[in-house]
Structure 1
């Protein structure tokens, strides 16, 4: 499923126009992004949790030359599925 498919399904399920459904989806994504940017987790009971994790700096190796290189620390977005989502997917 891509974004257009999601917009179509949300519009059909909610009775919204496609334009309204797209605006609602964009607002949802924007709100989640803003919260994560601020370091806040977003918990959607039954669906899952979006959170920010910190990856520490590490040392790696260039696969071609074997030369060591530094991999910088970074913040990553992480999603953990909730119980209802896990059960729905597992059958």
Structure 2
């Protein structure tokens, strides 16, 4: 499902206009992004948790030259599926 399809479904299900649904979804995305940038996590009951985890410095290779290079430490986004959703999906 793409963002536009999600907006249409939210609009229809909640009985609100497309403009209101778009605004609500955009606001939710901004809040989630800000929470992750700040190092926090977002827990969505029944769906899962979106969080960030640190990555260590590691060695990699330049794909063009094959030369070894150091990849600096950073953070990546992780999504952990809620147990009940995982159980539902796996029957």
**TM-score by structure 1 length?**
0.88
Q: After the TM superposition, which of the residue ranges 76-85 and 11-20 deviates more from structure 2?
A: 76-85
> Distance between the aligned counterparts of 2:76 and 2:67, measured in 1?
26
Aligned to 2:38: 38
User: Over aligned residue pairs, what C-alpha RMSD do you find?
Assistant: 1.5
* Equivalent residue pairs, number: 91
Aligned to 1:17: 17
Structure 1, unaligned stretches of length 5 or more?
A: none
* 3-state DSSP of counterpart to 1:16: coil
Structure 2, unaligned stretches of length 5 or more?
A: none
**TM-score by structure 2 length?**
0.88
Moved over 6 A (4+): none
Q: How far off its partner does 1:75 sit? A: 1.1
